[in-house]
Homo-oligomer: A and B are copies of this chain.
Amino acid sequence: QLLDHIADRFDTGSLAGRRVVITAGPTREPLDPVRYISNHSSGKMGFALAEAAMNAGAEVTLISGPVNLATPAHVKRIDITSALDMLDAAQSTLEHCDIFIACAAVADYRPTSVAEHKIKKGNEEIMELHLVKNPDIVATVASAPQRPFTVGFAAETQDVISYARGKLQRKKLDMIIANDVSQAGIGFNSDENAVTVVTHDTETAIAQTGKRQLANQLIEQIAHQYKTTQ
């Protein structure tokens, strides 16, 4: 009976038979064998989306940076560390990907060179760190020859919707999910979130709720929008 239930879900869920790739968590950009640049992403939103997509009948691959979260059942997980690793992993999935959801907080820049040994603290009171821009993973995916339906996230602290709409257009995305990380209690590392879903012709606010519930709502919106493009 349980198996029937699961089979039923896979056959009839809003993403039945669809292959969904989701990136999650932070990336870490190494300076040397011990130090890195990273960010406060917990990965909770991406993991919740993976579970929700699986529950909607999709075959889910989760590409995750370093997080302390259990892999949702029936989800294929690929662990990576840096943005370059994540890009490689993302590109390796594109041949069999219908929907790509870029939820990871990818470092914009990485150190120009990675020291082989731990950098010794000198006597210098100041230090310059040379950084080079990382590839834009979601923009790369959205520009691929056989592009999947591509969904981005925009974590902003000011002018949230206008920055999000700018990214949607510039990166050629199909949908962008904007959230205001300057608000206490939502976003990075918290268990709740409130977002606005932006497409080329719509804007839909989703009120603050648990990340799991929000993930279910987002997956339904993604599935709906995806179908309109088929």
Q: Which A residues have a C-beta under 8 Å from some C-beta of B?
A: 31, 33-41, 68, 105, 107-109, 112, 117-118, 120-121, 124-133, 155-158, 163, 181-182, 188
Contact for A127 among B40, B109, B117, B163, CB less than 8 A:
B109
Known: A35-B37, A118-B157. 6 other contacts (CB 8 A): A34-B40, A34-B105, A36-B38, A109-B127, A124-B133, A128-B130
A128 partner residues in chain B, CB cutoff 8 A: 128-131
Q: Shortest CB–CB separation between residue A120 and chain B, in angstroms?
A: 8
A105 partner residues in chain B, CB cutoff 8 A: 34
Of the A-B pairs whose beta carbons lie under 8 Å apart in the complex, a sample of 18, sorted by A's number, is: A34-B39, A34-B41, A35-B37, A35-B38, A35-B39, A35-B107, A37-B37, A68-B68, A109-B121, A109-B127, A117-B157, A117-B158, A121-B133, A124-B133, A125-B132, A126-B133, A128-B128, A129-B130
The residue of chain B having its C-beta at the shortest distance from the C-beta of A34 within the complex is: B39
A87 to B193, CA, bound (A): 34
A131 to B119, CA, bound (A): 14
